[in-house]
Amino acid sequence: MTNASQTSVMPVNSDNHWYGRFSVAPMLDWTDRHCRYFLRLLSRQTLLYTEMVTTGAIIHGKGDYLAYSEEEHPVALQLGGSDPAQLAHCAKLAQARGYDEINLNVGCPSDRVQNGRFGACLMGEAQLVADCVRAMRDVVSIPVTVKTRIGIDDQDSYEFLCDFIGTVAGKGECESFTIHARKAWLSGLSPKENREIPPLDYPRVYQLKRDFPHLKMAINGGIKSLEEAKAHLQYMDGVMVGREAYQNPGILAAVDRVIYGANVADTDPVAVVRAMYPYIERELSQGAYLGHITRHMLGLFQGVPGARQWRRYLSENAHKAGADIAVVEHALNLVASKR
């Protein structure tokens, strides 16, 4: 097999209307339901992912780990697990709740995840991943997808990656993959370091798409702008953006026009904040804390005059007892008055 990093690649013709053409990555402690509701107001078409939810939490937990708002669609549930029967059970529950996709986490390298025998360590057990995907596909009609890395530890050859994809696609009948263009070190690096230290290898992912042209493939890792996303879309079916979409959510305001070709104006961030008010009031009336919602909105005005005052006022006041819409409106005026 050719070393993809040394292979010249030619563009592919991607489907402009594929629902997974642009997505926001599942991010633990970040992409909760409040975050997803907010991001949806910025882009109607971006595919949103939940935080990873383990099968154990869904089956045995006391909370409702499948809760979301109808306004979030299209929304995918990311599952963590390695027991085919448990995954199938959770997939059925998720489909019944109306999720648009089930995604299996084969990319997270944390020790806690490894101890539960899921995440990136599963790259070393391709047949088990295939069994998991097949078990879910057998009981649901919505797409079942896999998010993975390009390798783990010393198992990082292109041949290893192709064998993994080939097994999961062939025996598991998985038709769609999101590839984080970094390998993962299962020991020695923290999850944060695993997102930054292993080098990105975009050409390897491009080559993977060329070698598996019948599969839908999205690329993930280090993408910071819509211009970069468009460049990747010359070679891939989809692009997944993680930290940049959270820390600078304003980039989503142009996604529907730039990425999906919709004939719409870019979303006005001030209007988005005010569109959040009914949701915030509803959540506060049900016992939520304002800061748990507004923490996801702090980066909205990045690069705009007044952005620092917006962040500071919300950070200092949203967690106070009794904080309500008036706090958000005051913070918003610090930005809007400078436009």
Rounded CA-CA distance 267/255 in Å is 9
243 is in an annotated binding site: yes
**In which residue are the tokens 């489909």 written?**
95
Has this prediction a pTM greater than 0.75?
Answer: yes
Q: Please check whether residue 238 is in contact with residue 20, taking contact to mean a CB–CB distance below 8 angstroms.
A: yes
Average pLDDT, the chain: 93
171 is in an annotated binding site: no
CB atoms within 10 A of CB 155: 15
299-323 core/surface letters (b: 16 or more CB in 10 A; e: else): bbbbebebbebbbebbeebbeeeeb
Query: What does the pLDDT read at residue 312?
Result: 97
295 is in an annotated binding site: no
Q: Among the options 35, 108, 132, 174, which is catalytic?
A: 108
Rounded CA-CA distance 48/75 in Å is 5
Q: Please check whether residue 206 is in contact with residue 181, taking contact to mean a CB–CB distance below 8 angstroms.
A: no
Q: Which residues contact 73 (CB under 8 A, 6 or more apart)?
A: 98, 100
- DSSP letters along 27-95, please? -TTTSSHHHHHHHHHH-SS-EEEEEEEEHHHHHH-SS-TT---GGG-SEEEEEE---HHHHHHHHHHHH
- DSSP, collapsed to helix, strand or coil, labels residue 176 as strand
78 is in an annotated binding site: yes
Predicted confidence pLDDT, tens digits, the chain (339 residues): 333 333 334 454 456 678 899 999 999 999 999 999 999 999 999 999 999 999 999 999 999 999 999 999 999 999 999 999 999 999 999 999 999 999 999 998 887 777 778 899 999 999 999 999 999 999 999 999 999 999 999 999 999 999 999 999 999 999 999 999 999 999 888 888 888 889 999 999 999 999 999 999 999 999 999 999 999 999 999 999 999 999 999 999 999 999 999 999 999 999 999 999 999 999 999 999 999 999 999 999 999 999 999 999 999 999 999 999 999 999 999 997 776
- DSSP 8-state assignment for residue 107: -
The verdict on whether 90 is a catalytic residue reads no
240 is in an annotated binding site: no
Q: Please check whether residue 236 is in contact with residue 34, taking contact to mean a CB–CB distance below 8 angstroms.
A: no
27 is in an annotated binding site: yes
28 is in an annotated binding site: yes
Please, what sign has the CA dihedral across residues 31, 205, 152, 77?
A: positive
10 burial (CB, 10 Å; 0-12 / 13-18 / 19+) is exposed
Rounded CA-CA distance 298/170 in Å is 44
Query: What does the pLDDT read at residue 18?
Result: 84
Domains (range + CATH), the chain = 22-260 (3.20.20.70), 269-337 (1.20.120.1460)
Q: Please check whether residue 57 is in contact with residue 74, taking contact to mean a CB–CB distance below 8 angstroms.
A: no
Query: What does the pLDDT read at residue 191?
Result: 83
220 is in an annotated binding site: yes
**In which residue are the tokens 């991607």 written?**
14
Query: What does the pLDDT read at residue 19?
Result: 87
